[in-house]
Each structure stands twice: as structure tokens, then as C-alpha cells.
Amino acid sequence: MAKYRSQATQHAHQLPLPPQFLTHGNSCLKPGQPDNFVVTNAKVADYKRCSYESCWLNKDSQVLDVGCGVGTDALNLLKIVGGEGTGKVIGIDRSQGLLDEAVKLVQDNFPEAVQTNRATFVNGDVYQLPFGDGTFDASRTDRVLQHLEDPTAALKEMVPS
């Protein structure tokens, strides 16, 4: 089970979210899409921002992104924790193909994070996270629980008891 490190570190050295926060997924308007797509996309950006803020991250946070997919959220989390501190983001997913895309996305946009192991991507199972207690300051997931047979078991694995 992955458990959080000291809760005191969750609130120390809060960093504001950078304005370039969502560099991917915000400019998806294509010909033929409805006019309200931009509004919907802005709502998704707000939702993502709130999701990241609720993790109480700082420049030294260790963050687990469960179901990281192609790494868009991991990249955005790196923009919060990957600056001057020792922060790290670990993405986990069951699809090696998606993990390969995540590595490429981060490598293309934040190469020093991959080179210094501040961004890593692991093939794994949310029901049996391969991390010890006290590894992370925060863990998050987005649109994963709805696809699981036992989301409660997954949450118990992600969140300290």
C-alpha cells in the first residue's frame, strides 16, 4: 500500500500554479466541432486545476498519478513540483503503450525531469501498487475509478488508512 509521507509536508512551501499550467489539451477545437466545445474545454481546464490544487503540492512533493495514460496530468504536475525543489511525479498505468507515450510527452516538454528521474512511469496495477508506505505526499487519479470492478479497493490502496 502506498501511504503518504508526513502530512506537514503537504502544506509547507505552497507554490502558486503557473499560468502556462495546462499546455496540452486546451487547444483542441477542430472544424465541425460545436461552438460550446471551447466552453466545455475551459471547464475541463478548471476541473484539472482544482484537481491539482487539492493535492496541496509544493516544490518537494512526491506525487503518484494513478492511471496516468499518455502523461498529460503527470506533465502538468511536474510543472508544479519539478522546478527548483526535489519534487517527483510517478505515473502508473496498465498499458505499456500509453506509458511509452507518457515518457515521450515528458521527454519532449520537460527533458530534465526524465534525465534526473523526477518523472518516472511504471507499468502496474492500482490494486497492488508497487510502492512502500510513506512514498508519496499525494496520490491522484482521474477517470479511472469508474472503470474498475472494485474502486473501493483501489482507493484503499491509494490512500493511507
Distance separating alpha carbons of residues 154 and 123, to the nearest angstrom? 16
Look at phi and psi of residue 16 and say left if phi exceeds 0, alpha if psi is from -120 to 50, else beta. Answer: beta
Please write the tens of the pLDDT for every residue from 56-80: 888 889 999 999 999 999 998 998 8
Is the torsion defined by CA of 103, 111, 1, 52 positive or negative? negative
58 contacts 15 by C-beta, under 8 angstroms? yes
Q: Give domain limits for the chain.
A: 8-158
Q: Which CATH architecture has domain 8-158?
A: 3-Layer(aba) Sandwich (3.40)
Please write the tens of the pLDDT for every residue from 2-40: 444 433 333 333 444 444 443 333 333 344 544 444 445
**Average pLDDT in the 114-121 region?**
91
Question: Which pTM was predicted?
Answer: 0.74
Residues 6+ apart with CB under 8 A from 18: 79, 80
